[in-house]
Amino acid sequence: MSDKKVIFTGASGMIGKEAVKPLLEAGFEIHGLTIDEKNADNGVNWIKCNLFDSQSVKDAFSKIKPQYLLNFAWATTEDYLSSNINFDFFKAGLDLLKHFKENGGQRAVFAGTCFEYEFKDAPLKENAPVNPKTVYAKCKNFLRQISQLYCQQNNISFGWGRIFYAYGIGEHIKRLTAHTINNLKNNKEVIINNGSLLRDYIFSKDISGAFVKFLDGKTEGIVNICKGQAISLADFAMVFAKKLNKTQYLKILNENTNQPPIILGDNVRLTKEVGYKIQYDYERSADEILEADGKTNGF
């Protein structure tokens, strides 16, 4: 019997699918909860389970009795910032912990968001003030608060990874990377309205690698999952435009905006305490995204 069984949610998402390889390499026996009928044959033991059905979740945990829990599951497409589904994922997160505890769970790591923070023109450390403004960010932050309390009460080691600006293979078509690539490949103009905004973009493979290292260690509490480096939206889009030799279709504007001029994370805890080293620069990640995009003929 494995002493590193993990129940894994969101395993087929942009970030989750990239976590499978490092989880296997770290010796985890992976049990992925899914509602899908067909799933990748990638080393995951898939379990049919609806996270919004408590009995379904209870049955899965009773069967597997995992020592570890990695929770990526959340909706991040369409109107997710204001959707009522955020409340469902909040409840589901607490339900996961309840059944995890009842079956002897020892260590859980959940995915949060940088949008929990009060933004400022300086790198955001984990102890920085929070000020979530959307339903999505508020539900994430509430889940973090209650989960930390629950785990303290029940002797469960708990980690919360605040993800900054994610991009990667299979990104949703409306997000910046996929939108830019698709338009450029079709010789369509790409307009970046706020090109001077600085953001901490981190590749999905680095995010997943960081979470696995986090899960497999003993660091507790909040850890920023970020590159610790800001890039302008203009320069970020330009990386892909240059790779595709389509810079003439990229139009950079600097319109007035109420958005924060910079959103940058401090990743000292990630690199020093968790011990994760960022693997991908923008050039290398762009090559992998474009190579994958070429094989699938679009996002």
For 251-272, the pLDDT digits (tens) are 999 999 999 999 999 999 999 9
Distance CA 22, CA 120 (A): 33
| pLDDT for the residue 297 | 52
Whether the per-residue pLDDT at 296 is higher than 70: the answer is no
Helices (H), 48-129: 54-64, 85-102
Distance CA 297, CA 270 (A): 35
Do the Cβ atoms of 71 and 96 come closer than 8 Å? yes
Distance CA 61, CA 138 (A): 27
Q: Given pLDDT bands bounded at 50, 70 and 90, which one contains residue 74?
A: very high
Which among 116, 143, 142, 120 is positioned nearest to 131, based on CA atoms? 116
The pTM assigned to this predicted structure is: 0.96
Helices (H), 26-155: 54-64, 85-102, 135-153
| pLDDT for the residue 1 | 63
Q: Given pLDDT bands bounded at 50, 70 and 90, which one contains residue 299?
A: very low
Dihedrals phi, psi of 276, to nearest 5 degrees:
-95, 135
Residue ranges, CATH 3.90.25, the chain: 171-198+230-263+284-296
Quote the crossing angle between the two packed helices 233-243 and 176-185, to the nearest 10°. 40
Whether the per-residue pLDDT at 174 is higher than 80: the answer is yes
Which superfamily does CATH assign the domain made up of 5-166+201-227+265-279 to? Answer: NAD(P)-binding Rossmann-like Domain (3.40.50.720)
Among 59-68, 70-79, 238-247, where is mean pLDDT lowest?
70-79
DSSP letter at 153 equals H
Helix (H) / strand (E) containing 235: helix 233-243
Number of other CB atoms surrounding residue 135 within 10 Å: 18
Whether the per-residue pLDDT at 245 is higher than 70: the answer is yes
> What mean pLDDT is predicted for residues 272-289?
98
CB neighbours of 252 closer than 8 A, spacing ≥ 6? 192, 195, 234, 237
Residue ranges, CATH 3.40.50.720, the chain: 5-166+201-227+265-279
> What mean pLDDT is predicted for residues 289-299?
73
Number of other CB atoms surrounding residue 25 within 10 Å: 10
Of all residues in the chain, what percent carry a pLDDT higher than 70? 98
Q: Given pLDDT bands bounded at 50, 70 and 90, which one contains residue 77?
A: confident
CATH number of the 171-198+230-263+284-296 domain: 3.90.25
Beta bridge partners of 62: none
Q: What is the pLDDT of residues 84-110, one digit of tens each?
A: 999 999 999 999 999 999 999 999 999
| pLDDT for the residue 294 | 74
